[in-house]
Chain A
Amino acid sequence: DVKVTQSSRYLVKRTGEKVFLECVQDMDHENMFWYRQDPGLGLRLIYFSYDVKMKEKGDIPEGYSVSREKKERFSLILESASTNQTSMYLCASSFFRLEVGPNEQFFGPGTRLTVL
Chain B
Amino acid sequence: ELKVEQNPLFLSMQEGKNYTIYCNYSTTSDRLYWYRQDPGKSLESLFVLLSNGAVKQEGRLMASLDTKARLSTLHITAAVHDLSATYFCAVVSVRDMRFGAGTRLTVKP
Contacts and interface: CB of A to CB of B under 8 A. Distances in A.
A and B co-occur in one complex: yes
B42 A102 contact: no
Interface residues of B, number: 22
Contacts of A81: none
Interface of B is mostly: strand
Contacts of B88: 42-43
What is the size category of the interface that chain A forms with chain B?
10 to 19
B54 interface: no
Contacts of B80: none
Interface stretch (B12-20, B55-63, B67-75, B91-99): B91-99
B101 interface: yes
Nearest to B95: A101
B6 to A, nearest CB: 8
Contacts of B96: 102
Nearest to A102: B97
A108 B6 CA distance: 23
A57 to B, nearest CB: 13
Given A42-B101, A100-B30, A105-B43, 7 more contacts: A35-B99, A41-B101, A101-B94, A102-B95, A104-B45, A105-B33, A107-B42
14 contacts: A40-B9, A42-B6, A42-B99, A42-B102, A43-B99, A90-B43, A100-B30, A101-B92, A102-B92, A102-B95, A102-B96, A105-B43, A107-B43, A108-B42
